Amino acid sequence: MIFDTHAHYDDVKFKEDQKQVIERQFSGGVSGILNCATCLENIPETLKLCKKYERMYAALGIHPSDCYRYKSPDDSLSALEKVISDNDVRALGEIGLDYHYDFSPKDSQLQYFEAQLCLAEKLGLPAVIHDREAHGDVFERLRSFKGIAIIHSCSESAETVRQLCRKGHYVSFSGSVTFKNANSVREAAKTVPDGLLLVETDSPYMAPVPHRGERNESLYIRYIIDVLAEVRGDTREHIERITEENAKRLFKII
Ligand SMILES: [Zn+2]
């Protein structure tokens, strides 16, 4: 069974057929989905989905591209902490740094990232990390982080991945590992120990080959698993089993 550790089924791209798509995932071989909110405004929709579907779990956080919405971290992060304490939440995220887009100023991104890493430590939740073109600053912040991080849609080098794994952080691979020009991602995928490997869609984005460019869904993870099996010299059954076990242990799913 497939466990999708990063999806956005609350996205507007599922407006027309959200119910049918989600039901198709669970009836087709998906055993769990972590749906990640990205701002205070879309938290209610994530929580609603997680109440409706038994095997859908919530990650709540403020994305680096969304922190521009708030005046200061004080109010927005106390609101976030309150909603996490009042609900069944399995991870803090997604949080991180995005230097590709400049929706939010860099200093504000850093402020939110650091404060939410502290919150993850305080609440004892794994932190889902978004890192786009910000490897150095993300790595630097994780150096002092005492919790467990999940590197989402890994684009780090093999050497960085090796160091992150040495600290016990998890690494999650998305459709990008199937892209033709993604040799460095495939190299990184070889270095992750079995016990720290995860898979994800980042749905509706990042669809793997042969669906690249289309709306992504959790069942397409089988193409990601095929590539991971090939580069790691394992069977696809093995990759599917360990990634599911890792996700369930990490998100405390019995
Ligand atoms: Zn995402």
**What's the 43 CA to ligand 1 centre distance in angstroms?**
13
Confidence of residue 132 (pLDDT cuts 50, 70, 90): very high
Better-scored residue on pLDDT, 223 or 102: 223
Strands (E), the chain: 2-7, 30-36, 56-60, 89-98, 127-132, 149-151, 170-173, 197-199
Question: Which residue's entry shows tokens 């803090």?
Answer: 92
How far is Cα 20 from Cα 194, in angstroms, rounded to an integer? 33
**What's the 6 CA to ligand 1 centre distance in angstroms?**
6
**What's the 7 CA to ligand 1 centre distance in angstroms?**
6
Mean pLDDT (whole number) for 111-127: 98
User: What is the percentage of the chain residues whose pLDDT exceeds 90?
Assistant: 98
pLDDT score at 71: 87
User: Is the pLDDT score of 232 beyond 90?
Assistant: yes
User: Is the pLDDT score of 148 beyond 90?
Assistant: yes
**What's the 241 CA to ligand 1 centre distance in angstroms?**
23
Alpha-carbon Rg of the chain, whole angstroms? 17
Through-space distance between the first and last CA atoms of the chain, rounded to whole angstroms: 15
**What's the 36 CA to ligand 1 centre distance in angstroms?**
7
Interacting residues of 100 by C-beta distance below 8 A, sequence separation 6+ = 132, 133
The amino acid that residue 31 corresponds to is S
Say how many C-beta atoms besides its own lie within 10 A of residue 52's C-beta.
10
pLDDT per position as a tens digit, 63-114: 999 999 998 899 999 999 999 999 999 999 999 999 999 899 999 999 999 9
**What's the 94 CA to ligand 1 centre distance in angstroms?**
7
Q: pTM of the prediction?
A: 0.97
pLDDT score at 69: 93
- Token digits of residue 101: 């887009």
User: Is the pLDDT score of 22 beyond 90?
Assistant: yes
Q: Which domain holds residue 40?
A: 2-250
**What's the 204 CA to ligand 1 centre distance in angstroms?**
9
Say how many C-beta atoms besides its own lie within 10 A of residue 68's C-beta.
14
**What's the 202 CA to ligand 1 centre distance in angstroms?**
5
Q: How many domains does the chain divide into?
A: 1
Strands 2-7 and 170-173: unpaired
pLDDT score at 119: 98
**What's the 25 CA to ligand 1 centre distance in angstroms?**
18
pLDDT score at 72: 85
Q: Are 61 and 82 in contact (CB under 8 A)?
A: no
User: Is the pLDDT score of 206 beyond 90?
Assistant: yes
CATH label of the domain that carries residue 177: 3.20.20.140
Interacting residues of 192 by C-beta distance below 8 A, sequence separation 6+ = 161, 165, 171
Mean pLDDT (whole number) for 41-68: 97
How far is Cα 191 from Cα 159, in angstroms, rounded to an integer? 8
How far is Cα 226 from Cα 60, in angstroms, rounded to an integer? 30
- Token digits of residue 128: 């889902």
**What's the 116 CA to ligand 1 centre distance in angstroms?**
16
For the chain, the average pLDDT equals 97
pLDDT score at 102: 82
User: What is the percentage of the chain residues whose pLDDT exceeds 70?
Assistant: 100
Mean pLDDT (whole number) for 136-160: 97
**What's the 146 CA to ligand 1 centre distance in angstroms?**
23
Say how many C-beta atoms besides its own lie within 10 A of residue 87's C-beta.
14
Mean pLDDT (whole number) for 140-166: 97
